[in-house]
């Protein structure tokens, strides 16, 4: 079961020209700024937009072929679409939402299984407005997967959640996606999400795919300056898992150096000894000019400023902490003068454990 | 700061509200008091004229409502999905019967469908005679009452997020079934509310009916027309008819209000 195809479509002066090829159980992330054509691509695959040209194949079956004049309507395509605000039916209970498109015993069994996997048993008789954002997301995912779709289309699936919750549920969702063996196309404008969830990234800008490949390489070397500014995850650290602390929900990682430094991160699906990539946004790294005292943040490193590079709306300051650890922090111009940040200066870099996230490339 | 004291403990707006309520309630109360104190009330209630008029009113308004809903739902749905100057014009045209004096509406229908009307010859050839028939009563009711229903249902359909219907289709449900499973349940309170207004207008219809359908007992004499006829000879009979019409209206509105509260989504939950 795979999903592949290409479409061209014009709306006014905007033109979309994209293609995709997604393996079962793998996640392709369409990453780009808003208005780039990401959602439009999903709508074309779902059959909610009739593209000018193209060919769309789902699990070996052609559902759109412009030249052959073939266009299968959405209700015969078997796609699972999860829109940004989830699109749950407010007049139905959770159970009725999940079972909405179910019409054979096989799907019924799948719905029951998903209700259990996504921990929704106790919510079955609730109405949608009684649910939290995270619960809504799980109901929407269960509903989309219950019909056993040939492709799963997720439009900004985490946008409606607050940032703490976002990081927490990402791993869980990723496991459900991988286990479902469905090709997944996920749309986001958040580089952190792309790094955490993608097996394959396609950067889309102004209707065109400007770069694609594995997440780290593709997002590290963004094709266009406009995208580079959006990317925002400057710290990608190769580290070894040194210990798991499930009781604290924490994980200890160390740098791959002879005298390693340790970093505390949230607990993730990993084993001791695994080498993983940890992402930290430069805006999540705090700098201090003297050693901070009485701080709740778990990670404090002393280091020396090596470079200061302007990047609107502030500066990227690189701090070498020794032990193979170098952190980039994004600070304002104000902070540069106030803290006396200059090359060679002694600084302390502070990172909350919850700001660290595991990339999907393990 | 001292609290301002108002006569009766009410601010000016409250007093005006009280006066207004009295203005509405007093005639209705008077109607019931006079009807009850009328020595011939029971006879009037069960008289042939009353029962015939009541039956005709209920049957014609029921048929009108079936047609109004049957045609009004597709019309409302169609209009809810259109925008632009053309649909603005259609919107206005649909509302014309609301502002047209009913007597004028009846006269206009006579000019169109009457024997001297512009479609008169064609209808005559087809063997159809409309004026002064029960069918004319129904047409008059539809003419004046349909805009209430179409307006309300259109607003109801417009409030249904399009995205929900799209999602329903991606879940394998055809557009037709999606309409019944998503759009209708979500627009339900508006549909029922519109039906209540429309029915109230149809059952009280007078001016267009008397112009286009006349006042023939058993064929075109509905309750409002019967009240007028009774007034000429017997005020007691008119009172009885009026009381029955009010009671019947209240019962139907109550039933429809109950149906509307069966709305699956509380107000404000439809985002």
pLDDT digits (tens, 9 = 90+) for B179-224: 999 999 999 999 999 999 999 999 999 999 999 999 998 899 999 9
Rounded CA gap, B120 and B132, in Å? 14
Query: Measured in whole angstroms, how far is the alpha carbon of residue A166 from the centre of its chain?
Result: 9
Mean pLDDT within A2-12: 93
Phi, psi of A275 (to 5 degrees): -100, 125
Preceding amide of B20 cis, omega within 30:
no
CB contact under 8 A, A129 and B264: no
pLDDT on residue B3: 60
Largest CA distance in chain B: 82
Query: Measured in whole angstroms, how far is the alpha carbon of residue B120 from the centre of its chain?
Result: 28
Query: Does the pLDDT at position A307 exceed 80?
Result: yes
Question: Contact A317/A328 with Cβ under 8 angstroms?
Answer: yes
pLDDT on residue A3: 93
pLDDT on residue A214: 87
pLDDT on residue A286: 93
Mean pLDDT within B92-96: 91
Question: Contact B153/B81 with Cβ under 8 angstroms?
Answer: no
pLDDT on residue A225: 52
pLDDT on residue A362: 42
Q: Which of A91-105, A110-124, B32-46 has the lowest mean pLDDT?
A: B32-46
- Domains located in chain A, CATH noted: 3-231 (3.40.50.300), 235-358 (2.40.50.100)
pLDDT on residue A351: 94
Average pLDDT in chain B: 88
Phi, psi of A157 (to 5 degrees): -65, -20
CB contact under 8 A, B168 and A83: no
Instruction: Find the closest chain A residue to B172 by CA distance.
Output: A75
pLDDT on residue B108: 93
Rounded CA gap, A108 and A244, in Å? 38
List alpha helices for chain B, DSSP H.
12-37, 41-45, 48-80, 85-99, 102-113, 120-125, 134-158, 162-170, 175-178, 184-203, 207-212, 223-233, 235-261
Q: How confident is the model at residue A360 (pLDDT cuts 50, 70, 90)?
A: low
pLDDT on residue A1: 79
Element (H, E) at A80: strand A79-82
Mean pLDDT within B23-42: 85
Mean pLDDT within B18-40: 88
B45 vs A276, which has greater pLDDT? A276
A46 touches chain B (CB under 8 A): yes
pLDDT on residue B271: 47
* Percent of chain A whose predicted confidence (pLDDT) is above 70: 96
Question: Contact A211/A222 with Cβ under 8 angstroms?
Answer: yes
CB contact under 8 A, A81 and B271: no
Model pLDDT for residues A140-188, shown as the tens digit of each residue: 999 999 999 999 999 999 888 887 788 778 878 888 888 888 999 999 9
Q: How confident is the model at residue A123 (pLDDT cuts 50, 70, 90)?
A: very high
Query: Does the pLDDT at position B252 exceed 80?
Result: yes
The A residues from 121 to 180 touching B (CB cutoff 8 Å) are 128-129, 143-144, 147
Chain A nearest-CA distance from B195, in A, is 21
Query: ipTM score here?
Result: 0.78
Mean pLDDT within A64-92: 94
Residue in A195, A173, A150, A192 with CA at minimum distance from that of residue A23: A150
Query: Does the pLDDT at position A283 exceed 60?
Result: yes
B271 touches chain A (CB under 8 A): yes
Instruction: Find the closest chain B residue to A146 by CA distance.
Output: B171
Residue in A134, A229, A157 with CA at minimum distance from that of residue A191: A229
Mean pLDDT within B248-253: 84
pLDDT on residue A219: 77
CB contact under 8 A, A81 and B168: no
Other CB atoms within 10 Å distance of the CB of residue A92? 20
Which of A57-71, A199-213, A285-299, B120-134 has the highest mean predicted lDDT (pLDDT)?
Answer: A57-71
Rounded CA gap, A146 and A316, in Å? 46
pLDDT on residue B233: 83
Residue for token pair 């290409």: A6
Model pLDDT for residues A215-262, shown as the tens digit of each residue: 887 876 655 555 555 566 778 888 999 999 989 889 999 999 888 999
Q: How confident is the model at residue A64 (pLDDT cuts 50, 70, 90)?
A: very high
pLDDT on residue B264: 56
Question: Contact A301/A254 with Cβ under 8 angstroms?
Answer: no
* Percent of chain A whose predicted confidence (pLDDT) is above 90: 56
Rounded CA gap, A274 and A281, in Å? 22
């Amino acid at each position: 079961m795979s999903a592949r195809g290409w479409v061209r479509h014009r709306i006014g002066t905007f033109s979309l020209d994209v293609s995709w090829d997604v393996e079962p159980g793998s996640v392709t992330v369409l990453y780009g700024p808003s208005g780039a054509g990401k959602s439009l691509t999903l709508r074309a695959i779902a059959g909610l937009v009739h593209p000018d040209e193209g060919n769309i194949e789902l699990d070996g079956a052609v559902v759109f072929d412009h030249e052959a004049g073939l266009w299968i309507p959405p209700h015969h395509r078997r796609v699972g679409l999860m829109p940004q605000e989830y699109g749950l039916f407010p007049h139905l209970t959770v159970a009725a939402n999940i079972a909405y498109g179910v019409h054979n015993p096989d799907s019924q069994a799948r719905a029951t299984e998903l209700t259990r996997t996504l921990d929704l048993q106790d919510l079955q008789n609730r109405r949608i407005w009684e649910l939290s954002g995270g619960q809504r997301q799980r109901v929407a995912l269960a509903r989309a997967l219950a019909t056993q779709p040939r492709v799963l289309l997720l439009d900004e699936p985490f946008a409606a959640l607050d940032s703490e919750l976002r990081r927490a549920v990402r791993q869980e969702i990723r496991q459900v996606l991988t286990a479902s063996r469905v090709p997944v196309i996920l749309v986001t404008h958040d580089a952190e999400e792309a790094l955490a969830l993608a097996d394959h990234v396609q950067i889309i800008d102004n209707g065109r795919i400007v770069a694609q490949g594995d997440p780290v390489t593709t997002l590290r070397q963004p094709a266009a300056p406009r995208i580079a500014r959006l990317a925002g995850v400057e710290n990608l650290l190769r580290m070894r898992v040194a210990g798991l602390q499930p009781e604290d929900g924490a994980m200890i990682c160390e740098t791959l150096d002879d005298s390693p430094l340790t970093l505390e991160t949230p607990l993730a699906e990993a084993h001791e000894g695994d080498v993983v990539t940890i992402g930290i946004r430069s805006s999540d790294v705090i700098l201090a000019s003297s050693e901070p005292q009485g701080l709740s943040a778990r990670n404090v490193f002393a280091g020396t400023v090596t470079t200061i590079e302007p990047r609107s709306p502030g500066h990227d300051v690189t701090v070498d902490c020794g032990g193979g650890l170098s952190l980039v922090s994004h600070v304002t111009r104000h902070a540069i003068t106030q803290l006396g940040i200059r090359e060679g200066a002694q600084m302390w870099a502070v990172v909350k454990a919850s700001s660290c996230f595991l990339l999907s490339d393990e | 700061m001292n609290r301002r004291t108002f006569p009766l403990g009410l601010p000016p707006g409250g007093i005006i509200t009280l006066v207004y309520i009295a203005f509405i309630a007093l005639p209705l109360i008077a109607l019931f008091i006079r009807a009850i104190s009328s020595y011939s009330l029971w006879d009037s209630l069960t008289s042939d004229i009353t029962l015939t008029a009541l039956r005709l009113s209920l049957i014609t308004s029921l048929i009108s409502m079936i047609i109004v809903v049957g045609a009004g739902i597709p019309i409302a749905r169609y209009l809810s999905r259109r925008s632009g100057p053309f649909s603005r014009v259609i919107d206005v045209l649909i509302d014309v019967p609301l502002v047209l004096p009913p007597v004028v509406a009846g006269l206009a229908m006579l000019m169109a469908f009457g024997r001297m009307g512009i479609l008169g010859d064609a209808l005559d050839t087809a063997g159809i005679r409309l004026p002064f028939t029960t069918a004319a009563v129904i047409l008059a009711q539809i003419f004046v009452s349909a805009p209430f229903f179409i307006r309300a249902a259109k607003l109801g359909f417009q409030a249904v997020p399009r995205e929900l219907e799209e999602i329903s289709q991606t879940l394998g449900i055809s557009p037709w079934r999606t309409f019944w499973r998503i759009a209708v349940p979500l627009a339900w309170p508006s549909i029922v509310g519109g039906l209540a207004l429309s029915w109230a207008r149809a059952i009280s219809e007078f001016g267009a009916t008397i112009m286009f359908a006349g006042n023939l007992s058993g064929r075109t004499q509905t309750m409002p027309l019967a009240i007028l006829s009774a007034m000429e000879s017997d005020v007691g009979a008119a009172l009885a008819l009026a009381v029955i019409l009010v009671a019947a209206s209240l019962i139907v509105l109550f039933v429809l209000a109950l149906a509307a509260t069966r709305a699956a989504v509380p107000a404000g939950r439809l985002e």
